[in-house]
Structure 1
Amino acid sequence: MSSRDDFLAGARAAGPILLGIIPFGLIAGVSAINNGLDPLHAVGLSTIVFAGASQLAAIELFGRDAPLAIIVVTVLVINLRVTMYSASIAPYFSRFSTRWKALCAYVLTDQAYALSITEYRQTDPEERSRKWYYLGAAFTLWAVWQVCTIAGVVLGANVPTSLSLEFAIPLTFMALLFPALSDRTTEIVALVAGAIAIPAAALPFDLGLVVAAVLALTVGALRDHFRDADPGDETDAETQPEGAEP
């Protein structure tokens, strides 16, 4: 397949996810205006940060006149999960140049990661350009996010609350979660993360998300360790992703 075909394949894969991205972006734009940001700053925040959950947290803190240091730390803490995505997808990008890695890092999101890593694990590396598939999915999400954020900035408080756009945000992440539950370990990790995240939501600076992720991954790693130590347990053995370097 050509680079163009791979790019379009990534863009098509992102299509269903846009149903959740559109209201999510509108909420980000509306919230920015309602919390006192001027349109230029609202659009700049969306372009530079490009991270939905941390954008909303930053906007809320701006509205509360929080110190800049608190805003920066909060955004960094919320985005710590991206380091886990980076570590997971890095083997597939090992042959990219530094310039391409930087571009891929800029547009890395939950959705782009989930779509791409699923495709990479299922497709022969000779049949798909990982770079162009990823960029097709990631830049489709980026473009729609920016357009919807600008639309939210323009509409401001004119979006009726009766639309309940916030409901689309968890639906978007649920659509990414369920296809990723491919074996018993991932199911256990998801259950542990959900069980911890709910009570941990009361932690300051959205630390509950990071705590739940770290503890759930630890449980998953321990399960894999003890399972591998028992050669007789091969019920859900996993293999090294094809084409990835150790």
Structure 2
Amino acid sequence: MSNRSKIFFKGVADVSPLMIPVVPFGIIFGVLAIDLGLSPITTMAMSIIIFGGASQIIFLQLFSAGASSLVILSSVGAVNSRHLLYGAVLSEHMSDFKMTWKIIISYFLVDQAFAVTNSYLKKSSDKDKAFHSFGAGATCWVIWQITTIIGIFLGSIIPEKLGLSFAVPLTFLALIVDDLRKLINVIVIIISGLIATVGYEIIPFKAYVIVAATSGLIAAMILTKFKGLNNG
């Protein structure tokens, strides 16, 4: 096995344990998309083009609520904006990468791939280290597409009267469980949740997600600064 293959499969092995919680998430997305009336082709196109679990679930939530296209695109863009931070962090390790590799890796740079890629690039000086990023990202992509297809299949055979739309908020609750360990996180979650709940009916253009998220960020900034002043 060549050195490039070894590095590629190391990326696959490093990210594989992180794929366990992705499987039910991808299936739920596929099921919900079909349940909300999207075609299998549209659902797969979303998974290929957006390729971001949280963003795609938010898309479905806003779509089902009748939000405008501008609000949907803005919300999805806001959620995916964290990838700009990922790119900034990895840029110092990728200065010697060819532009082709940078484009490929930027597409595959989801949360799990970033976690293992960042850890590997910090320690590696191998000239073929880009293959690790490719292996990790490609694994995430394949798993997400396969689970989406499984969800599409299941969604087409589950009776409409079952109504699985409730799984959207439950999925997000599962994602934030780990954040409940810190008081600041709990406060920010409560503030964002209250604003989103109240704003659902009164904020125009269904922009409650953007307003709630922005309010949460401002609250987090204030609380973090206040905590820093107290510690100082």
TM-score range, shorter chain: 0.7 to 0.9
Alignment of 1:1-246 (within 5 A): 2-121=3-122, 123-126=123-126, 129-156=128-155, 158=157, 192-193=184-185, 195-201=187-193, 202-203=195-196, 204-205=208-209, 219=224
Q: CA deviation at 1:101?
A: 1.1
Given residue 112 of structure 1, which amino acid in structure 2 is its aligned partner?
A
Which stretches in structure 1 are left out of the alignment for 5+ residues? 178-186, 228-246
Aligned length: 208
The C-alpha deviation readout for 1:93-133, integer Å capped at 9, x for no partner, is: 12222222111111111111111112223x2323x743111
Q: Distance in 1 between matches of 2:36 and 2:96?
A: 43
Q: Distance in 1 between matches of 2:129 and 2:216?
A: 30
Indicate the structure with greater helix content. 2
Aligned identity (percent) is 26
Q: Which aligned segments of 4 or more residues in structure 1 are displaced greater than 6 angstroms?
A: 164-175
Which stretches in structure 2 are left out of the alignment for 5+ residues? 197-207
TM-score by length of 1: 0.70
Residue 231 of structure 1: aligned partner: none
Q: Distance in 2 between matches of 1:3 and 1:103?
A: 16
Q: Distance in 1 between matches of 2:175 and 2:107?
A: 20
Q: CA deviation at 1:199?
A: 2.6
Supply the RMSD in Å over aligned alpha carbons. Answer: 3.4
TM-score by length of 2: 0.74
